[in-house]
Structure 1
Amino acid sequence: MKTLTLLLSSAFLFACAGDSHAVVRIVNDRGGLIQRYLDRYDGLKGTGQTVVIDGLCASACTIVLAKIPSGRVCVTERANLAFHAAWDFGAGGRHITNREATRMMYSMYPAPVRSWISGRGGLSPHTIFLRGTQLQTMFPRCYLDAAVFLRS
């Protein structure tokens, strides 16, 4: 049974990767400027590539959930999504919540993610983390095979 599970796992990942190993792997992305991520994922959307979230995807990185079709996003057991309100720099470098950008980001997320965020009080300056079983009920689990990433 264990051999069958490993074979199916490898087959799933290779099927997602295709002949060109078209896989984008997110491992430790702490986020950044929202527009940069909107542009990045808009460009990725039409490529057909599968996105494997295999570690931290924080802040603006989570826009991947809004821009890439859910059927092309999978999560590993190490996937960890971090959400918080969008912010701008204020006087003295202080973080000031940007309500409009926060509403825009929230509205872009798939319904299960919005519901999860709402259940934790919404997007605020406090970071909340979606991982483990809760995340795996929203997105399919993917299994990594190191060979897939040799040419990525």
Structure 2
Amino acid sequence: MRITPLVALLLSVLAVTPARAVLHITRDHGGYVEEYKAKYKQIRDRRERVVIDGICNSACTLVFGIVPLNKICVTPKASIGFHQAYYDKAFTFGIKVTSLEGTSDLMSYYPDTVKDWIRRNGGLTTEM
């Protein structure tokens, strides 16, 4: 078989194209838990990989409980921030009110390795 310039070009493109998409997390301070659950479930179902290469705080940390751990890469530049869940301040007159139910829900998603790390480091508090 003779390799033409077109075949060579196609082979080179295929060789450098990743098989799965990758979500790069570099500056994610979190947000609404339900939105993160939906986002990470889509990533899990598409078998995509996640690279945490910066800030991953609050709801962002749900990635550890939804995406398989073998699909997550945490670089030395990563900063992971956990805290207790709280109600949207828009509904609590601007006051941070913790949600025991929300915190329990968050913890239910984390794998045992993450739960153990949280417990060894003082548990979830209102601050990161």
Asked whether 1:24 is paired with 2:23, we answer: yes
Q: Which runs of 5+ in 1 are unaligned?
A: 1-16, 128-152
Q: RMSD of the TM alignment (CA)?
A: 1.6
- Work out the CA distance in 2 between the residues paired with 1:74 and 1:36: 22
4+ runs deviating over 4 angstroms: none
1:65 is matched with 64
Q: Structure 2: which 5+ runs fail to align?
A: 1-15
TM-score calculated relative to the size of structure 2: 0.80
Q: Which of the pair has the greater relative contact order for Cα pairs under 8 Å at 6+ separation?
A: 1
How far apart, CA to CA, are the structure 1 residues paired with 2:35 and 2:119?
Answer: 26
For the Cα contact (< 8 Å) 2:20–2:47, is it kept in 1?
Answer: no
Q: What is the count of residue pairs matched by the alignment? A: 111
| TM-score, scaled to structure 1 | 0.68
Q: Aligned partner of 1:36: which letter?
A: E
Deviation sequence 1:14-57 (CA, Å, 0-9, x none): xxx96345111000000000001011111111111110000000
The structure number with the bigger radius of gyration is 2
Higher strand share: 1
Query: Compared with structure 1, are the counterparts of its residues 18 and 101 closer, same or farther at alpha carbon in structure 2 (3 Å cutoff)?
Result: farther
Return the alpha-carbon distance in structure 2 between the equivalents of residues 70 and 91 of structure 1: 35
